[in-house]
Structure 1
Amino acid sequence: MIINFNSINFINSILNINELSHDYGNEFAVIGYTNVGKSTIINLLFNKKISRTSKIPGCTYRINIFKNNQEIRFLDFPGYGYNKFRKKIIFNSFDFFQKYVLIRNSLKGIIFIIDIRFLLKKIDLILLKLLINKKKSILIILNKSDKLSNVLIKKKIYTIKKILINLKLQYKFHIKIKILTFSSLKKNNLQNIKKNINFLINN
């Protein structure tokens, strides 16, 4: 199966895990700390302004669902850092995501977006441990690579690979983890991101 990314459209947004629809087909979860550039990457991936971007961290507090007629779904989870709405709503995206990973059979992989300048925060590591423990395939996108020199980019990739090797050894699981750098300005590796998402569906 080859995904037609241009045919993917927004269909719904939810607040509660019980609102999730049928559990079949192929599903991907898009996660990342607040303000890592998830919405921008989604818009580039689907070649349309489908996900709202904001200069204010934490504005998105719902899980947005995107889908096409191939039964390919992408779930965009709220950034799990600072959220300006957190005091107004009963919602915890981090807990929601943990429950989601445990119950969702159609989940084919996680698109984990990280700001390459800061790499892994404590909560990122907790999520990575959960995903590795549950044997979930992960595509890590090191975003905003245009902010660093090539030398620093190589150092950051080396650092995260060391962390991932240690985590995989700790849990003694062989799972697919792919790392790609990305810049929304240069749009480098956009085709490779699509290629790797297709790979997760077909393997």
Structure 2
Amino acid sequence: MAMDSSQVNIKEELICPICMDLLIGPLSLDCGHSFCQACITANKSLSNLEGESRCPVCQRTYYPWTLRPNRQLANIVEKFREVNVRSHQWQTRNVCERHGENCRNFCKEDGKAICSRCVQEHQGHQISPMEEVVKECQGKLQEALKKLTQEQQEAEELEAAISEERDTWKDVINVIRRYVCGTRHSPFCV
């Protein structure tokens, strides 16, 4: 069972741009790009003396302490791995052990591939062709990826708003300090 185009599209989103393999312990930058934890923490080639680094993809600056774990993406990568392992198992074990026939159906209640002769033993169960089940799982994975992308974008927007708010408060505090220091001797004046 070869990967179809939707699986390839999903896999492209789950690849680390540095090692070009499936993400392991994904960390996300403020720019939205995600990398394997080991890859991005070892990325010293684009850093300067102040600890500021650049995203290997878009060159946007970031600080190492702003890296954040992306648990949702990690979960999707894990589910993708599980689907690929099951797909591989179905490829190599696509023959019914009892009847020696190809397993072309899937019993959703028992969660296993079955041949046409096993279908009789699963009467009353929800039986679907294997291709439908695979497409259904791929659709669920695509939806999860869309939701993750949307949530990540919302989180980035919130983070930008918080950063802007923080900068505004820093400016207000500096104005107050200058005012207090200019009008009288204060312990806040350094």
TM-score after normalising by structure 2: 0.24
**Which protein is richer in strand relative to its size?**
1
Larger radius of gyration: 2
> Of the two structures, which has the highest relative contact order with CA contacts closer than 8 Å and spacing of 6 or more?
1
**Which protein is richer in helix relative to its size?**
2
